[in-house]
Structure 1
Amino acid sequence: MIKSDPVGPHHVTHLTTAQKLAQGILPWHERLSYGISDFACSFTFSLVGTYLMYFYTDVFGIQAAAVGTLMLVARIVDAFDGPFWGIMIDHTHTKWGKSRPYLLWFCAPFSIFTVLCFAAPNLSMTGKIIWAYVTYIGVDVLYSAVNIPLTSILPSLTENSHERVTLSTIRSLFSNFGGTLISVIALPLVGFFGQGNDKKGFFSLALLAGIVFFVIYLVVFKNLRERVHSEGSEKPLPIKTSLKALKRNWPWVIVIVLNFVYWLGMQAKNQVTIYFFKYNLGRADLVSFALLFNAVSLISVFMTPQVVLKIGKKKTMLGGLAIAIAGQLFLGIGARMLNIAIIIFGTIISNFGNGFISALIAVLLADSVDYGEWRNGVRAEGIVTSASSFTAKFGMGIGGAISGFFLSLGHYVPNKTQPASALFAIESDYVWVPMIAFAISLILVLFYQLTPKKEKEMTRYLTKKHQQEQVTTK
């Protein structure tokens, strides 16, 4: 059984691997494996999130309103697929654990559907829409199958609170790097692969992303281990029992609502970035350059563990959101003035703030798994974490739907000079929708009440409980 460190990190450089594991400190090959898992996810799903709407409207030739409706319908499907995967995880018991098997079972199907999303068969408009529905909803459902286990496995890797922050930081570093990398290289690679044929270019890029994802996930599956077990984790949990983990679990409620609102704003912004630079600024050549500054978030992600040690998780989240809001204000000024320098400055500030947020959301969620067991006596990693994944995807889908409907209401026409109404719709989606989402997120975090003192009390109790359960079952 892992003995957690409820207070903070020790000076552990002199300890053996076994002694580190006893304190809940993972070896570096596992830390890095956990991190590159989200590099793979971001590398592929950021391609979908950032460029698929543009691919649908400007390359595949589907109307913006139809795309917005598709993304809204996909969110209805998410209302079922997220909890479904969570329940499946709680019902899974294999020699590999509960969450880890899904990394192996679904990496190939997700890779295949990623490629199919960017295929552009010669079909009628109805046929194109049907193709888009099948492939987009397919990749969306399968993304839950490969991503929810990454979140649900975190509380099973270690009980050490600081190690969880470290793992989440490493994961966020790789996630931000993967998302930034694909955002920056996507359009140049589309041009390189397609040689003027964007359909061929996007398909080839998606094929590359699918292969990268598949190979990395096999490595991640091989290296990760589930070590934290409660008395009931060795057998499937009935749905009714799993749901007890959510009863009066207020940290969980805050995190899932935060996830919905925050990712709604982020997705709205990401999906119209290419539109904003292409049409509002008339500088499509700057898209990759602007997206390069997403890498600024790596700095704040890297800083997160030390900042958390000094001021705590809640204050770190509040600071990140405040910085992100300030960045959006500068973006708004730059958008009004059509000043590229101010826009880039606002992008840097906003991304710096977002790094703190992305590094901590998964940690707060892992804490809510512990809280559910502490308060209700039920440890249900699957149902607790899948709800967060669902709300994040639901928020991203609503953000995408808003983008599509805004473009339609603004009378957007692909590859033409846009009317003022379309330009205003793009600007609103790029600047003001995210800023409002960040402001609401900040208000939500103000109500987060799992204090450091309460967290230490919870960790001590659960560590003792798990040790006693292990002795009993031997």
Structure 2
Amino acid sequence: MNNGNQVKWPERLAYAMSDFGCNTIFQIVGTYFMVFSTDTMGIKASVVAGLFALTAIIDSVDGVIWGQFIDRTHTKWGKSRPYWLWFSVPFALFCIMSFSAPNLPMTWKIVWIYVAYIGAKVLYSGINIPVTSILPAMTSNPQERVTLSTVRQFFGNLGAAVFLPLTLPAVAFFAGIFDKHNSNPSTSATGWFIWAVILGIVTVICLMTAFKGTRERVVTKDSNRSVPMRESIKALKGNYPWVIIIFINFVYWGSFSIRQSSLPYYFKYVLHNEALGSAVLAGTIITLISTAMVPFFSRLIGKRNTMLIGMVGTAISQLILHFADQMNGNVPMILFGMLVYYISYGLVGALIAVMLSDAVDFGEWKNGVRAEGFVTSFSSFSAKLGMGLGSMLLSAVLAGGGYVAATAGSSAGQTASALDAIRLGFIWIPLIGYVASGLVLLFNNVDKLEPQMVKDLDEKHQRETEGLA
């Protein structure tokens, strides 16, 4: 097994800034965009559901297109890195637009959020697919990939842990300074806009740091040519590790999206404790502990089994939240359920990118075609499609339950059916998704094939490098 091309710590940290930068603002979009649209802009949940449906359709094609762009890119910086340079600023601007509430008629407000949200999602693919596609190009060492992905996930979770719990207090703080007439600070358009601008600036700085500090060092015959679509597709023939991880990406992140978007509603309307909702988001920092343990566990019991433990844990956490809900919102049990969730979640996220890199290797090993952009682009496609359909499903569930938005200056109560709809989104739909993901993961045995696969590919790449010299 290759022990070469180790990545030094400065480059590991630079790579980690890619996910830290993405999560700095996009986790805020994923968690608060819907509640901002309904409670600040006054847009009906059914209209937001339509936006999510349209975005899901767009997401079904844009990821693959970005992947083809990457496989056809030839620059002095490599194939994946340039996208952080080119699209970090436009991505940040569209995210800021997503939390801007211009004084327009309702029809134009709807147009505004459609343009802003779709733009943010499309450019997120342009930023995030290279975060994954660059991994197999940075090193061919399997354990080094686990380390890189773990460091990346650690800082990605750190971004969420720092900025998610700060969001509502920050919005209220800026509202208190610039929007004093608003009796419901969490709905302040001014507060949301200022906070989004701050996050956008942080995002751009992080992505530029990632661009400057990383490099692509695994050179193959496909590194210096455009790989056409018809040839890229060959990398997927019989590539069952890819099928499994793409399914998991779709279901797991769709469940995550539903849970994350419904969390503010659950704490605001079911528990009547919005401050506790912000506090539990701070628990994201707990994921840093379990994420840091991923390299150790993956060496001890394998990547698949480490991820499987995480998936079982997230499912158990949902059951704990259900029992807490049945006990009139028992706060200590809710906190325990969130603790189990964050520990378990930290074991899953870091390994998805590694398993996608394994799928890139498996496709080359089995079919002789290495197409990092195309193979990994389906990661963004499946995750975003799952998250888009998940958000659409949550919007439909809330609308079907009769949810009424609490707009600026008001604090709407909710009917029993609306509260049940919120519970369905926060507890039960994610539980089903986590169980399904774990069952499918059982069929992935690439850990057993890895020693021979890495040996064969190292020899192949060495021959290709000598041929290019």
TM (norm. structure 1) is 0.95
Q: Mark the runs of 5 or more structure 2 residues left unpaired by the alignment.
A: 183-187, 407-411
Counterpart amino acid of residue 354 in structure 2: V
Residue 403 of structure 1 corresponds to 394
Counterpart amino acid of residue 420 in structure 1: A
Residue 212 of structure 2 corresponds to 222
Q: CA deviation at 1:221?
A: 0.6
Q: Of residues 133, 138, 142 in structure 1, which corresponds to 2:123? A: 142
Q: CA deviation at 1:212?
A: 0.5
Residue 473 of structure 1 corresponds to 468
Q: CA deviation at 1:30?
A: 0.4
Q: CA deviation at 1:340?
A: 1.3
Residue 269 of structure 1 corresponds to 259
Residue 429 of structure 1 corresponds to 425
Residue 448 of structure 1 corresponds to 444
Residue 367 of structure 1 corresponds to 358
Q: CA deviation at 1:292?
A: 1.1
Residue 245 of structure 2 corresponds to 255
Do residues 211 (structure 1) and 207 (structure 2) align?
no
Q: CA deviation at 1:449?
A: 2.2
Q: Of residues 336, 339, 342 in structure 2, which corresponds to 1:348? A: 339
Q: Of residues 447, 458, 471 in structure 1, which corresponds to 2:453? A: 458
Provide the C-alpha distance between the structure 1 equivalents of 2:317 and 2:147, rounded to a whole number of angstroms: 26
Let me know the Cα RMSD of the aligned residues.
Answer: 1.0
**Given that residues 254 and 389 in structure 2 are in contact (C-alpha distance below 8 angstroms), is that contact kept between their aligned partners in structure 1?**
yes
Q: Of residues 95, 102, 108 in structure 1, which corresponds to 2:89? A: 108
**Given that residues 222 and 371 in structure 2 are in contact (C-alpha distance below 8 angstroms), is that contact kept between their aligned partners in structure 1?**
no
Provide the C-alpha distance between the structure 2 equivalents of 1:241 and 1:426, rounded to a whole number of angstroms: 46
Counterpart amino acid of residue 419 in structure 1: T
Q: Of residues 357, 363, 383 in structure 2, which corresponds to 1:392? A: 383
Q: Within 5 A, what are the aligned runs for 1:188-199?
A: 188-195=169-176, 196=180, 197=182, 198-199=188-189
Aligned-pair identity in percent equals: 46
Q: CA deviation at 1:451?
A: 2.8
TM (norm. structure 2) is 0.96
Q: CA deviation at 1:289?
A: 0.7
1:311-366: CA deviation from partner (whole Å, max 9, x where unpaired): 00111111111111111110111112211111111011011111110010000001
Residue 14 of structure 1 corresponds to none
Q: Within 5 A, what are the aligned runs for 1:65-84?
A: 65-84=46-65
**Given that residues 4 and 158 in structure 1 are in contact (C-alpha distance below 8 angstroms), is that contact kept between their aligned partners in structure 2?**
no
Q: Of residues 27, 30, 34 in structure 1, which corresponds to 2:8? A: 27
Counterpart amino acid of residue 428 in structure 1: L
Task: Detail structure 1 runs of 4+ shifted over 4 Å in the superposition.
Answer: none
Q: CA deviation at 1:220?
A: 1.0
Provide the C-alpha distance between the structure 1 equivalents of 2:288 and 2:129, rounded to a whole number of angstroms: 23
Counterpart amino acid of residue 413 in structure 1: V
Do residues 167 (structure 1) and 148 (structure 2) align?
yes
Q: Within 5 A, what are the aligned runs for 1:8-27?
A: 23-27=4-8
Do residues 97 (structure 1) and 78 (structure 2) align?
yes
Q: CA deviation at 1:458?
A: 0.4
Provide the C-alpha distance between the structure 2 equivalents of 1:463 and 1:246, rounded to a whole number of angstroms: 20
Do residues 54 (structure 1) and 35 (structure 2) align?
yes
SS in 1 for 2:385: helix
Provide the C-alpha distance between the structure 2 equivalents of 1:112 and 1:354, rounded to a whole number of angstroms: 29
Provide the C-alpha distance between the structure 2 equivalents of 1:52 and 1:381, rounded to a whole number of angstroms: 31
**Given that residues 304 and 359 in structure 1 are in contact (C-alpha distance below 8 angstroms), is that contact kept between their aligned partners in structure 2?**
yes
Residue 237 of structure 1 corresponds to 227
Residue 282 of structure 2 corresponds to 292
Q: CA deviation at 1:298?
A: 1.2
1:126-163: CA deviation from partner (whole Å, max 9, x where unpaired): 11111111110001000000110000000000000000
**Given that residues 157 and 287 in structure 2 are in contact (C-alpha distance below 8 angstroms), is that contact kept between their aligned partners in structure 1?**
yes
Provide the C-alpha distance between the structure 1 equivalents of 2:8 and 2:447, rounded to a whole number of angstroms: 29
Provide the C-alpha distance between the structure 1 equivalents of 2:17 and 2:223, rounded to a whole number of angstroms: 26
Provide the C-alpha distance between the structure 2 equivalents of 1:126 and 1:447, rounded to a whole number of angstroms: 48
**Given that residues 17 and 209 in structure 2 are in contact (C-alpha distance below 8 angstroms), is that contact kept between their aligned partners in structure 1?**
no
Q: CA deviation at 1:224?
A: 0.6
**Given that residues 72 and 227 in structure 2 are in contact (C-alpha distance below 8 angstroms), is that contact kept between their aligned partners in structure 1?**
yes
1:434-455: CA deviation from partner (whole Å, max 9, x where unpaired): 1110000001101112133x10
Residue 20 of structure 1 corresponds to none
Q: CA deviation at 1:24?
A: 2.0
Aligned residue-pair number: 454
SS in 2 for 1:290: helix
**Given that residues 247 and 372 in structure 1 are in contact (C-alpha distance below 8 angstroms), is that contact kept between their aligned partners in structure 2?**
yes
Q: Mark the runs of 5 or more structure 1 residues left unpaired by the alignment.
A: 6-22
Q: CA deviation at 1:287?
A: 1.6
Provide the C-alpha distance between the structure 1 equivalents of 2:141 and 2:456, rounded to a whole number of angstroms: 13
